[in-house]
Amino acid sequence: EDPYGYVFVVDTINQRIQKFDPDLNFMAKWGIVGKDSGQFYNPSGICLSWEPDWAPQEE
């Protein structure tokens, strides 16, 4: 959960990050399978900052 109440989920099966609003309504998703910029290969975590920004952690 970020400072604004949004929830970010690391979806390892579909190789993406999903965003939900504070009421857990789906809002957005990012990522496709791959090893290039903007792609994910086994995402395992996410790091949120106090700014509206995030960074994935990959294996």
Gap between the Cα atoms of 16 and 46, Å rounded: 11
Q: pLDDT by residue for the chain (59 residues), tens digit each? A: 888 899 999 998 999 999 999 999 999 998 888 888 778 888 888 877 666 555 555 55
pLDDT in the model for residue 38: 75
Gap between the Cα atoms of 58 and 31, Å rounded: 12
pLDDT in the model for residue 29: 93
pLDDT in the model for residue 21: 96
Spacing of C-alpha 27 from chain mean position: 12
pLDDT in the model for residue 23: 97
